[in-house]
């Protein structure tokens, strides 16, 4: 893992600013059942923490900017009391001081609260210090990572000191925050799902780790690190993996690649066993992300396929498949068919899967060369009990002819016939099918 980039002053001596806590001698406020809360920031002394010397060369200097205000999220149980994850609440600092001004929003009923977010900004609104969260890479460098428990009694004015670290935007996730919690940006949700195919062509739901960067390679700003799906066995004894969903910023240029990801296949002992390390990489533009959006706010998965050459993206060309809705699913299948030595005959049966990784049937191709007539390439689809096809689309990406579309199938066994002029094998055949549970 890359070195932790902590922060220190320009003199390369990290300093501690300790504020006098008034919690021991809290003045009583007469004739009030409310409690008044104020916060102060303590810049943590990193040089005294074990393990920092080896990363000194990679530590950026703290800014000399003067702090002007903080943003906080204060909760009680599962309820946001002051601020929220989407919009932390701003409280100004007293001029030339490092504690907050009195604010009506911080006049609270007595009780137990939790400080879940604390960040410090300069007058221009640039983030300069931040309190790390428990479980993050930098949590061990402060005494008291968030969430911080706060107990308020009736009629008291309580000051709470919050340990903070200088902020480096190259390492947002190492503080335990997501980018959209620190920047006022809109975000998309995109979910990943993965299959693994062994060398015999058998498909499995895959276990994997996912890393995501803002940029076009892994030198950009890290948004997510080492995300893994929830895996298990359902009540039917089948292995499952939940999709991994991430929030991604919205880019102004719809055609520009600005998201880069790496997915690493992981072992799954009880499912497919130990595997050879395999990494899939890719970039995404705003158009790529929005292509996964369906009707009624539905989002299709970004489907990852480890060692699965038979599966691919939906065919290009004229669209003749209606959008899926309800419990229906989209099946997408790619396959190289035929050989130059055997331009006629049937291929083997191939399993076909929904975008969710459910096996719903098989497909077989039949190649027929005809003299003085157009050659035939037939895709025969057999769905398992409980599924039926409504529409299908068949295309040969490298052949400049129209796609074949079949509408209103409403059956679990059907053929799609492609007629081409002197088809030369091998060639790539792509089939997309809308399948729905049978009534």
DSSP E strand stretches across 35-138: 35-43, 67-76, 79-82, 89-92, 107-108, 111-122, 127-130
Q: Which residue has the higher pLDDT, 205 or 63?
A: 205
pTM for the whole structure = 0.42
Torsion from C-alpha of 234, 236, 237, 239, nearest 10 degrees:
-50
Taking CA 344 as the corner, what is the angle to CA 341 and CA 350, rounded to the nearest 5 degrees? 100
Angle of CA points 147, 148, 153, to nearest 5°: 140
Task: Label residue 182 by pLDDT band (50, 70, 90).
Answer: low
Per residue in 196-236, pLDDT tens?
Answer: 887 766 778 899 999 999 898 888 888 888 999 999 988 77
User: Is a pLDDT exceeding 80 seen at residue 151?
Assistant: yes
pLDDT value of position 176: 76
Q: Which of 138, 217, 230 is nearest to 176 (CA)?
A: 138
Which of 49, 50, 87 shows the shortest CA–CA distance to 71?
Answer: 87
Q: Is pLDDT of 382 > 90?
A: yes
Average pLDDT, the chain: 77
Question: 122-141 pLDDT, tens per residue?
Answer: 898 888 888 888 887 778 77
CA end-to-end distance (rounded Å), the chain: 52
Per-residue confidence band for 298, with pLDDT thresholds at 50, 70 and 90 = low
- Cis preceding-peptide flag for 426 (omega within 30 of 0): yes
Paired with 303 in beta bridges are: 193
Confidence of residue 173 (pLDDT cuts 50, 70, 90): low
Q: What is the structure's pLDDT at 183?
A: 57
Shortest CA distance to 61 belongs to which of 129, 130, 9?
9
pLDDT tens digits for 1-48?
Answer: 333 333 333 222 232 332 333 333 444 444 457 888 888 877 654 433
Residue 365 pLDDT exceeds 50: yes
């Amino acid at each position: 893992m890359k070195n932790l980039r902590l922060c220190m002053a320009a003199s390369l001596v990290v300093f501690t600013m300790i504020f006098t806590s008034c919690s021991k001698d809290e003045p009583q406020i007469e004739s009030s059942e409310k409690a008044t809360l104020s916060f102060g920031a303590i810049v943590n002394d990193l040089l005294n923490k074990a393990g920092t010397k080896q990363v000194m060369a990679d530590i950026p200097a703290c800014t000399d900017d003067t702090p002007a205000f903080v943003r906080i999220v204060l909760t009680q149980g599962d309820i946001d009391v002051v601020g929220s994850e989407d919009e932390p609440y701003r409280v100004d600092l007293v001029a030339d001081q490092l504690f907050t001004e009195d604010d009506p929003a911080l006049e609270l009923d007595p009780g137990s609260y939790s400080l879940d977010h604390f960040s410090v900004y300069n007058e221009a609104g640039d983030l300069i210090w931040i309190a790390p969260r428990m479980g993050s890479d930098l949590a061990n460098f402060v005494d008291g990572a968030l969430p911080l428990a706060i107990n308020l009694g009736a009629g008291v004015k309580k000051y709470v000191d919050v340990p903070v670290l200088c902020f480096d935007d190259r390492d947002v996730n190492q503080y335990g925050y997501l980018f959209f919690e620190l920047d006022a940006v809109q975000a998309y949700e995109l979910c990943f799902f993965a299959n693994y195919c062994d060398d015999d062509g058998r498909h499995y739901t895959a276990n994997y780790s996912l890393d995501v960067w803002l940029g076009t390679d892994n030198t950009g700003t890290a948004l997510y690190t080492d995300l893994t799906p929830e895996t298990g066995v359902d009540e039917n004894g089948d292995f499952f993996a939940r999709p991994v969903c991430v929030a991604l910023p919205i880019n102004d240029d719809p055609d520009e690649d600005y998201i880069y990801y790496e997915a690493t296949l992981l072992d799954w002992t009880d499912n497919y066993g130990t595997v050879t390390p395999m990494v899939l990489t890719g970039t995404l533009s705003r158009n790529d992300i929005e292509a996964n959006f369906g009707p009624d706010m539905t989002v299709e998965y970004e489907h990852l396929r480890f060692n699965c050459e038979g599966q691919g993206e939906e065919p290009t060309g004229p669209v003749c498949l209606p959008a899926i809705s309800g419990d229906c699913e989209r099946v997408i299948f790619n396959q190289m068919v035929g050989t130059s030595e055997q331009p006629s005959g049937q291929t083997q049966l191939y399993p076909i899967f929904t975008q969710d990784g459910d096996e719903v049937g098989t497909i077989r191709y039949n190649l027929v060369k005809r003299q003085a007539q157009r050659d035939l390439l037939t895709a025969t689809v057999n769905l398992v009990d409980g599924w039926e096809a409504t529409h299908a689309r068949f295309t040969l990406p490298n052949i400049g002819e129209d796609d074949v579309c079949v509408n209103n199938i409403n059956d679990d066994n059907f053929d799609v016939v492609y007629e081409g002029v002197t088809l030369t094998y091998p060639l790539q055949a792509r089939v997309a099918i809308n399948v729905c549970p049978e009534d």
